[in-house]
Amino acid sequence: MAKRLITESDIVEAARRGTRSISIDPQTVITPSAKDAALQYKIEFTTGVPAGGSSKSFEAVEISAPADSRNPNAATVIAIGCDHGGFQLKKVVKQYVHELGYTVADVGTTSEEACDYPDFAYAVASLVASGQAAKGIMIDAVGVASAIVANKVTGIRAVPCYSEFVARSSREHNDANVLTLGGRVLGSELAKSIVKTWLETWFGGGRHQTRVKKISDIEKKITGSK
């Protein structure tokens, strides 16, 4: 099972080829910058066959199950993404999350070729916010920039973590649902320890629930949502 991610660079490339429409399905993730670019280049998103020839095979959101499908965590989907600065660490983290028994939704990127972290941070946050993933992990060079992006998505509480203590606190006190890591500031073993702690720590509720609700109330006031 695969879902597509369409980014601004995909739209620019499609425009260069003269493509006037791009076929999508209900599961396609389109970043805000891609939507803006589509308006700029007058490219339409359609649910039919794209006009003007076949379009590029856009980067897919790849869903992969753990080796042991009987693991209790196998039914839980963790969205994982990175930019070029986090690519090497993402490979380590993705494998480790599988070892912990979780199903992974990998939104990319798939190489160390330069790309824009907002596209992938948004894709991770969108899967979590929509309920298609239980939690998300996004890795860039430092971890801060992606947290800023993810926290723009309604319902997301993203936190950059550099220690097990911060990871535990972010889950127990803040019910964080997106973890961001820095591929150029964390070693592989520390990153795995942080990921394990973050995934396995439960939200404490109680007085913390009241505070998290106040965060949601502020968000509703700003966005006008109910």
Query: Known catalytic residues?
Result: 173
Give the pair of three-digit tokens for residue 78. Answer: 């963790």
∠ CA 156-107-114, rounded to 5°: 105
Q: Which one, of 9, 11, 37, lies nearest residue 22 by Cα? A: 11
Rounded CA-CA distance 176/136 in Å is: 10
Contact predicate 63/40, CB 8 Å: no
DSSP 129-179: HTTSSSEEEEEESSSHHHHHHHTTSTT--EEE-SSHHHHHHHHHTT---EE
CA atoms lying within 13 Å on the CB side of residue 143: 20
Centre a 10 Å sphere on the Cβ of residue 70 and count the other Cβ atoms it contains.
Answer: 7
Strands 135-140 and 158-160: unpaired
The structure tokens listed for 216 are: 């949601």
In whole angstroms, what separates CA 37 from the centre of its chain? 21
Interatomic CA distance for residues 82 and 109, integer angstroms: 6
